[in-house]
Amino acid sequence: MYLFTSESVSAGHPDKCADTIADTIVDRLLELDSNARVATEVFISGKHIVIGGEVKTDLPLSEAFYRLCALDALSSIGYPEEGFTEEQTLYPDHRSPLLLPLLTLFCLIHAAPAFAAQTITLDNGDRLTGTVERIGDGIVKVKTGYAGTISIEWKKVREIRSDDEPMHVRLTGNGTIPVKSIIRNGDRILLDQQSE
């Protein structure tokens, strides 16, 4: 004889609400961009909803998108759109402030998609070959086959090339040529926006 037990919570339980919001975000992003990569976690405390994680997509998304996902998820559970009463809080067993206006904190990283294999030339003349995984916050992250992922300060990068085409060339100590990401022959590359 086997005894099986499991925890069961109602749809309005904070953990279940958080899971539903996270699932809604993933579903909506995949509906809009089937190549999106989404890793989200949602935390709920009183009238605060924290959405965190990492999203890789070509879509220009704003906080309003995530707020709408959260409100739609809560509405699907049964919380009224016009707001919560004292009897309809996320914590029915505890005193909780009203949820609306909903305070949402976003801790999502919109990571740049990985680019094709490139050669990165540093100011000191050193070169390394790898895949640029992320450009942001003053850091270039490069995945190499021999040293794992390397983080390099953006200001130390003189040039990034893919198939011997320059994708980033620094003009002065602080200036750069603006670049944009496009797909050419199935590969994601960076292009100089001034050359269009």
pLDDT for the residue numbered 28: 92
Q: Are residues 28 and 71 in the same domain?
A: yes
Instruction: Count structural domains, the chain.
Output: 2
Q: Does the CA dihedral 40-44-49-50 come out positive or negative?
A: negative
Q: Are residues 106 and 18 in the same domain?
A: yes
Q: How many CB atoms lie within 10 A of CB 181?
A: 14
CATH assignment at residue 129: 2.30.30
Render pLDDT for 51-104 as a digit per residue (tens, 0 to 9). Answer: 888 787 877 777 778 888 888 888 888 776 555 444 444 444 443 333 344 555
Q: Are residues 121 and 106 in the same domain?
A: no
93 assigned to some structural domain: yes
Report yes or no: 36 and 90 within 8 Å, Cβ to Cβ.
no
Q: Are residues 105 and 24 in the same domain?
A: yes
Domain boundary among 110, 139, 167: 110
**Cα torsion for 98, 99, 102, 103, to the nearest 10°?**
80
Q: Are residues 29 and 99 in the same domain?
A: yes
Q: Are residues 143 and 84 in the same domain?
A: no
Q: Are residues 121 and 103 in the same domain?
A: no
pLDDT for the residue numbered 60: 77
| pTM to 2 decimal places | 0.47
7 assigned to some structural domain: no
Using CB atoms within 10 Å of the CB of residue 188, give its burial: 0 to 12 exposed, 13 to 18 middle, 19+ buried.
middle
Give me the domain span that covers residue 169. 117-195
CATH assignment at residue 51: 3.30.300.10
Render pLDDT for 100-150 as a digit per residue (tens, 0 to 9). Answer: 445 555 555 555 445 555 777 787 888 888 777 666 656 777 777 776 788
